[in-house]
Amino acid sequence: MAFDVHVLGTASARPTSKRQVSGSIIKCDEGNVVIDAGEGFQTRFANQRKNLKLFEKGTTLKTAKIDAVCLTHGHLDHTWGLLPWLQSMSLDNRDSPLLVLGPTSEEVFDSLLNNQQIPDQAPPAELARQFRYWQSLGGNHEALSYPIRWVLGDIENNRWLEFDAQQNSVHQLQGMPQPSKWKNNKLCPLKTNHSVPSCAWMVESKSKYGTFNRMKAAENRLNVEQKGALASGQDIELDDGTKLYAADFRGEPKNGLRVIISGDTAELASGIIDLDNCDLLIHEATFVEDAAKWADDFLHSTATGAARTAVQCGAKHLAITHYSSRTKDSGEPLREAQSILQDSAISCSALSDGDRIIVENDGQIVHLFWNGNGWSR
């Protein structure tokens, strides 16, 4: 499998008896990334790990394998569980480094860079404020068993800065850092549209070479070395001077796979719809149609807005989440989203807490519903 996405909270700001606030994990072959960590994330993470142990032998969620935390914005239902969970991982004696990434505004970025205070007009939920607090409250290598980097981005202008551990200062980075061990997967922020600086997060696997044409190699009577060279992308010249081009021995390159988690946003966020394809789009659907005005007022999406976004970014599958506490049952937003998608090839499902979505290497997508006793299709 290419990705195994665990969605541990599907409520919007106010949790309900069945739904907790935001927090997801994307597992890929090189490591795992947490997208948002609202209140109680440490408990939900531990529960999911326990459930995997009980019901899905062979699949684990190791804290040591979490390479990055990507925050979509500073609202507390997406961030307030981070520090306690960082401390839980320290009690588990984690020692691998952790990268924390999040968005800020152009103004706050400039103030930080000039060693000025965070401007008063910046919202209370500004991530720069939270990063400073968390660092001072023990979110640093001295207090934790593992090194941690706090990195904020001005997403619009692709500028990145890192909070220094000792002094109250920052330094600018060349670009957005990636988890240090990752070679075949990439994290990518996508600009969204919310009441505070925000972004969606995409994990993208590297595109792969097309299949090597063995028949053609046999017809040309190539030896092992010649085949190896062509297979690794090198053109070769035969003894008689004939040139053979690697590209002629490969099928069409296979696209990398893309998983996106939107965070909170109005529909048709520019960073998402700029894409022309993605495999899995997990998109907020805070409101149903009869509350569409609220979606506009608070820069959230309706279920139909999530569906319109899925169409625009060429998604193969849309999974909706982040329901308002007024939404009693996800059947209603699901039907609304499906009504927009009925003439498209896009499949759609509604997430509940604990659900997983698997993206296979061939692009097949399976929603695994948590049923209290394991996962069912």
| Segment interacting with Zn ion, rule: CB under 5 A, options 42-50, 73-81, 84-92, 346-354 | 73-81
Q: Which stretch binds Zn ion (CB under 5 A): 29-37, 42-50, 69-77, 324-332?
A: 69-77
On whether the CB atoms of residues 324 and 291 are closer than 8 A, the answer is: yes
Integer Cα distance of 118 and 128 in angstroms: 8
CB of 199 to Zn ion, least distance (A): 12
User: Tokens 């400039």 identify what position?
Assistant: 110
Measured from the CB atom, is 94 or 283 closer to Zn ion? 283
Q: How big is the chain, counted in residues?
A: 377
Please say which residue, 286 or 349, places its beta carbon nearer to Zn ion.
286
Q: Tell me how far apart the alpha carbons of residues 100 and 71 are, in angstroms, rounded to a whole number.
A: 8
Q: How many residues bind Zn ion (CB under 5 A)?
A: 3
Q: Closest CB to Zn ion among 63 and 327?
A: 327
CB of 264 to Zn ion, least distance (A): 3
75 part of the interface to Zn ion, by CB under 5 A: yes
Q: Scanning residues 339 to 358, which ones bind Zn ion (CB under 5 A)? A: none
Provide the minimum distance between the beta carbon of 22 and Zn ion in the complex, in angstroms, as a whole number: 6
Binding span for Zn ion by CB under 5 A among 25-33, 55-63, 71-79, 137-145: 71-79
Q: Does 77 bind Zn ion (CB under 5 A)?
A: yes
- Range 226-285, binding Zn ion (CB under 5 A): 264
Please give the Cα distance from 133 to 77 (Å, whole number).
17
Phi then psi for residue 86, to 5 deg, are: -60, -40
What's the min distance (Å) between Cβ of 300 and Zn ion? 8
Residue number with CB closer to Zn ion (89 or 108): 108
CB of 126 to Zn ion, least distance (A): 13
CB 271 within 8 A of CB 79: no
Task: Please check whether residue 158 is in contact with residue 199, taking contact to mean a CB–CB distance below 8 angstroms.
Answer: no
Residue type, 4: D
3-state secondary structure at position 101: strand
Q: Which is nearer to Zn ion, 48 or 265 (CB)?
A: 265
User: What is the Cα–Cα distance from 282 to 354, expressed in whole angstroms?
Assistant: 14
Output the smallest distance, CB 157 to Zn ion, in A.
Answer: 22
Angstrom distance (rounded) from CA 190 to CA 7: 19
- Residue 283's Cβ-count burial label (10 Å; 0-12, 13-18, 19+) is buried
Contacts with Zn ion by CB under 5 A lie at 75, 77, 264
